[in-house]
Amino acid sequence: MSEKTNKVNVFQWFMDKWKNSALFSTGLALIVMVILQTIALGFDYPNFGSWFTAWFNNWMNILRNNSSVGIIALGMTFVIISGGIDLAVGSTVVAIGAVVMAMLDANTGGWLGVVGLTGVPAFIAAIIIAILFGTLLGSLNGLLVTAGRIPPFIATLGAMKILRSVTQHFMQSQSPAVPKGFLKIASARIGGQMLLPIVYWLILAVILYFVSKKTVFGRHIYAVGSNEKTTRLSGINVNRVKMGVYALMGAVVSIASVLQISRIGAMDPANAGSGYEMDAIAAVIVGGTSMSGGKGSIVGTVFGMLIIAVMNNLLNLMGVPPFLREAFKGVIIIAAVLLQRKSSEN
């Protein structure tokens, strides 16, 4: 190796990385996207300062608009690594959202108002209850998958239908209003920017990254997804790991739901959160996590989410009609999986 020139070494290192690390190729794809997007944004500004402001604001928009799905995708990464899938996340967003709004309704005082809780204590109580409720809904999915031995696709497809329909039924004659103070959770400005949704996303990503790499639970998720039988025969309670994964998914969704309400200030039970499951799954897949389980990473999912988001932005900047944008998303998903298959075959 030493007698070879430096140039060849860099090339070989590159090819090695490209072949062996899904994260490397995803990261590279992201960089290419960002460069294209920067070019599409143009440089037609009087000075660097104003260009940078425009560029930065554009980025803040991208990140903020994708924070809810981005957060859900983090939980989805665990579910998919464990060998499962969760189609119920979009419906869970509205179900939890409906409960939160019912608790806090500014018009009637809400359930919490009835028991005398208002203002910040009510918000905190609502968030805690939302997370508990989300964990419960996730655990029910987990129960169907483990004790009920129903394939995750089918169990969560059922849950998706049930949650959406029940929520719509109870919300049809209601029009709860979100209290002003609650909006601050997402919309409080820091340095003139609505940074908070991005911060929550980032914090969750960091926490879940450590869970996936450094904890017994995290490593067990990979083991279960890669070879359930060996994992069980290694004295590990596979069902408990799976329950944990779906419960965590529910908790993560509830955070996304709270964020969504406080960012938008309302929730349409028919449409809110719909399609989130597919968007989250797409981000996970583009990020290099294998649908068959056992392989993948949180960082990859963040990259995957950003690739899709930046591409959307790029198409927008280039003036591609909105209806056509989904097609590009489809192309990206398929291309990502094709690329990953190439690299895993080597």
Partner 1 sequence: MTLEMKGIYKSFGANDVLRDVSFELHAGEICALLGENGAGKSTLMNILGGVHKADQGKILLDGKEVSFQTPADSLNHGIAFIHQELNLINDLAIYENMFIGRELKKKSGLLDAQKMIDRTNEVFKRMDLDLDPRTMVRDLDASYKQIVEIARALLMEASIIIMDEPTTSLTDPEIERVFDMMNTLKKNGVGIVFISHKLKEVMTVCTRFTVLRDGNMVSAGDISETSIDSLARDMVGHDVGTQSLRREHKLGEIVLSGEGLTLEPVFKNVSFEVRAGEVLGITGLLGDGRSELFQSIFGALKGAAGTVRVNGEKVNIRSTTQALKLGIGYVPRNRKENGIIKDMTIEENGSIVTWPRDSRFGFLDSAKIGTEFDKQERELHIKLDSKKFLIGSLSGGNQQKVVLAKWLTANPRVLVFDNPTQGVDVGAKEDIYNIILNLADAGVAIVVLSSEAQEVIRVCDRTLVMFHGEVRGELVGDEMNEQAIMRLATGGEA
Angle between helix axes 67-81 and 89-104 (nearest 10 degrees) is 130
CB 183 within 8 A of CB 164: no
Q: How far apart are CA 288 and CA 296, in angstroms?
A: 6
Q: Which of 235, 319, 321, 322 binds partner 1 (CB under 8 A)?
A: 235
In the bound state with partner 1, the residue whose beta carbon lies nearer, of 57 and 234, is 234
Q: Which of 231, 254, 260, 312 binds partner 1 (CB under 8 A)?
A: 231
CB of 203 to partner 1, least distance (A): 18
Q: Which of 167, 295, 312, 329 binds partner 1 (CB under 8 A)?
A: 295
Does 24 contact partner 1 by CB under 8 A? no
Q: Which residues contact 203 (CB under 8 A, 6 or more apart)?
A: none
Residue identified by tokens 């895993």 is 344
Distances (CA, A) of 101 to 35, 144, 166, 167, 264: 41, 28, 15, 12, 12
CB of 218 to partner 1, least distance (A): 9
Q: Which of 59, 123, 222, 303 binds partner 1 (CB under 8 A)?
A: 222
CB of 86 to partner 1, least distance (A): 21
Q: Which stretch binds partner 1 (CB under 8 A): 4-12, 192-200, 234-242, 245-253?
A: 234-242
Q: Torsions phi, psi of 176, nearest 5?
A: -65, 150
Does 214 contact partner 1 by CB under 8 A? yes
CB of 231 to partner 1, least distance (A): 7
Does 21 contact partner 1 by CB under 8 A? no
Q: Which of 173, 229, 338, 345 binds partner 1 (CB under 8 A)?
A: 229
Residues, the chain: 346
CB 246 within 8 A of CB 79: yes
Does 294 contact partner 1 by CB under 8 A? yes
In the bound state with partner 1, the residue whose beta carbon lies nearer, of 223 and 249, is 223
Positive/negative CA dihedral, 95, 97, 103, 107: negative
Token code pair at residue 143: 């129960």
For residue 190, the cross-strand partners are: 193
Report the amino acid identity of residue 91.
Answer: S
Residues 14-47 as b/e (b if ≥16 CB within 10 A, e otherwise) read eeeebeeebbbbbbebbeebbeebbeebeeeeee
Q: Which stretch binds partner 1 (CB under 8 A): 42-50, 61-69, 122-130, 208-216?
A: 208-216
Does 234 contact partner 1 by CB under 8 A? yes
Give the 3-state secondary structure of residue 190: strand
DSSP classification of residue 265: S
Does 45 contact partner 1 by CB under 8 A? no
CB of 244 to partner 1, least distance (A): 11
Does 246 contact partner 1 by CB under 8 A? no
Q: How far apart are CA 333 and CA 341, in angstroms?
A: 12
CB of 234 to partner 1, least distance (A): 5
Site for partner 1 in 152-171 (CB under 8 A): none
Does 216 contact partner 1 by CB under 8 A? yes
In the bound state with partner 1, the residue whose beta carbon lies nearer, of 96 and 145, is 145
Number of residues that bind partner 1 (CB under 8 A): 22
Report the amino acid identity of residue 320.
Answer: V
Token code pair at residue 79: 């579910």
Give the 3-state secondary structure of residue 193: strand
Q: Which of 220, 242, 263, 329 binds partner 1 (CB under 8 A)?
A: 220
Token code pair at residue 62: 């991208």
CB of 298 to partner 1, least distance (A): 16
Q: Which of 12, 172, 230, 271 binds partner 1 (CB under 8 A)?
A: 230
Q: Which residues bind partner 1 (CB under 8 A)?
A: 214-217, 219-220, 222-223, 225-227, 229-237, 294-295
